[in-house]
Structure 1
Amino acid sequence: MVKARKYVVKQHFVGAPKRDDYEIVESDLPPIQNGEILVKTEWVSVDPYIRAYTSRFPVPFDQFSFQVGLVEESKDPRYPVGTRVMSHKGWCDYSIINANVANSPFDMLYKLPDFKGLSSSLGVGALGMPGATAYFGFLEICQPKPGETVVVTGAAGAVGSLVGQIAKIKGCRVIGFAGSDDKVNWLEKDLGFDKAFNYKTVDVQKVLKDAAPKGIDCYFDNVGGEISSIIISQMNDFGRVSVCGSISSYNDDLTNLPKATILQVAIVMKQLKVEGFLVSRWRDRWPEAFADISKWIKSGNLKTREHITEGFENIFDAFLGMLNGDNTGKAVVKV
């Protein structure tokens, strides 16, 4: 008999998530049936989308997120014991999965490919959903050309740090915005961004004019809010904006969101393309992204950094820390 623990959301978040919004539930898992596998969680991902999506589900519900786990028992020949799998089973230490049953659009299960010596934790990072998000969200929507100027917000996070490096690989000039001087140094010195700025301490309008005197061609938007309005107002004709998220407002009251400068004048007069996306759009093509990203990591052209928290009991703290910008690179929990 396996004892399993999981985080259950018992009330919707009001403002920043609170520990009291969760209950940790322990239960005995039943024996697995034909077609099922028992998975022991190894790595749990904490990402901004979790905060954005939780209000869509009636409480109580099990907290979802991507995770890498190891198959400990199997009654599905496609997933023998010892196989590492990626699923969306979330904040739990054990789970039973039936690959033939999808209870929601989020349900996902696939074998982790052989990372050839790289950590399996990358399965929830650069070689998982965040990597696919950076790859397709930037390359498919922005379609960057060598020599163009690219701006990335949330540039030191799991997705933004990859977007900036992919832009450099594609021959672009890259400007990043992050929330601390340490992150700015990491972006410039380690990742090769041409310029990076701490948005909390600079005049964004002024530093952008100085750093991109010829304007901006592509903008990868992770944060929304007024900083995005300023960046979009400095874009060149036919500029492209890929809208990945709006982390600046995820904890705000959806009925009373902060106001940002009107964008329509810039969008019309400069004939900009502004497109939002969900990475599931390219789900059948994710292996393309992982093949390229893996090659870039091994060649040294792309660096990955993880902010690792240890312990099942610390998943919530890791989640809150990520929303507060405590992480540099991918926030991940080792269970």
Structure 2
Amino acid sequence: MKLSDMRTTVEHNSIYSDFSFRVLPVIGKRVFRMGIAGNYGIDSSDVEWAADQGANYWVWGAGFKKVTAGIKEVIRKNREKNVVSSLGWGFFGWQVRQSIEKALRKLNTDYLDIFKLGWLGRTSTDSRGVVDSLLKLKQEGKIKAIGASIHDRKRAGKLALDSELDLLMIRYNAKHTGAEEDVFPYLKKRTPCVVSYTALAWQQLINPVKDIEMAPWPTSKEGVKIPPLTPELCYRFVLSNPHIHLVLTGPKNREQLRMNFRAIQQGALTPEELDWIRQYGKLIKAKKKFDYI
């Protein structure tokens, strides 16, 4: 079933609709809850295919050359339906302005829905000069929302509580659930948008691991082999958390993209399934001594 066809169906099913779509704070647009990052292999034809299925959240950066033409075409057809999230860097206000205005020219659009400071604290700062420049660009209508990708969860929690950031892009998956303590409790005051990435924990949740003992999968069917997890289960785990507005996917090809979209079609996980996946994630974290950041 196409997501575009599915959209008609979910309008009559409030639970499924809530799982599949969210209205983003500040931006005010209704988005399909799987955002597309075009820096892992897909090209412009895949972007246009994804848009035809119902996808409408696009991550773009200066190095995402293979998908630039596709994003330009998609937003040319219907700018107000689509969300363009640009990932940039900057230690100074002038760098941020330069990055945003260059993105506007590259994508042939009057505004970006979101400008995210990449790797806040490592390759970007939230200095007063940078923040003031972003607020000015927002006032000028060149961006609608200010965001940041950040790996320091405790700092992300503080920024969620009190900052000019409208959006936080954070790591969250079955192996890395620390945001549940460090970030999510601080969202209520300002309700920023929360975008999650690394749903598969860099493939660690979907690759076989020796000597893992788990109780049977709660909804086992004949022929289903779990563990390891499937990509669909990883994405559904993330999206079943009510604090997550959407999850990013970075597919290598259209088949992976098609497979990942199935996670949305399958809906939220049951409490028993969530508990099982959470326990599996803890085992994987204990097994993997080498961990990312």
TM-score w.r.t. structure 2 length?
0.28
| Structure (1/2) with the larger helix percentage | 2
The two structures have a TM-score, normalised by structure 1, of 0.25
Q: Which structure carries more strand by proportion?
A: 1
Q: Rg bigger for which structure?
A: 1
